[in-house]
Amino acid sequence: MKIKPFVISIVLGIMAFVTLYIPANASAQGVELGDGVAIAAEVAAIDRTDRTLALMGPEGDVVAVEVGPQAG
């Protein structure tokens, strides 16, 4: 009967590995205040009066990001 715990531990290990290997949902809907986000983009435009920054992503889509007063 020593085979049963061994098989159960192997199955649980595989399940844990598969669960950790599945990537998280990449389509985040927003960011809470104080969270940090890392992105790869080119600066397309800077609007100093409205404090917005237009960033162009790798696929060519442009996103406007509001910049707080901490940015200087």
Estimate to the nearest angstrom the gap between the alpha carbon of 66 and the chain centroid: 18
The model carries a pTM of 0.45
Mean pLDDT for the stretch of residues 53-68: 86
Please determine, for residue 61, whether its predicted confidence score (pLDDT) is greater than 80: yes
Please determine, for residue 43, whether its predicted confidence score (pLDDT) is greater than 80: yes
Please determine, for residue 33, whether its predicted confidence score (pLDDT) is greater than 70: no
With cut-offs at 50, 70 and 90, classify the pLDDT of residue 57.
confident
With cut-offs at 50, 70 and 90, classify the pLDDT of residue 67.
confident
Q: Could you give the C-alpha distances from 37 to 10, 12, 17, 25, in angstroms and in order?
A: 36, 33, 26, 15
Domain extent listing, the chain: 3-71
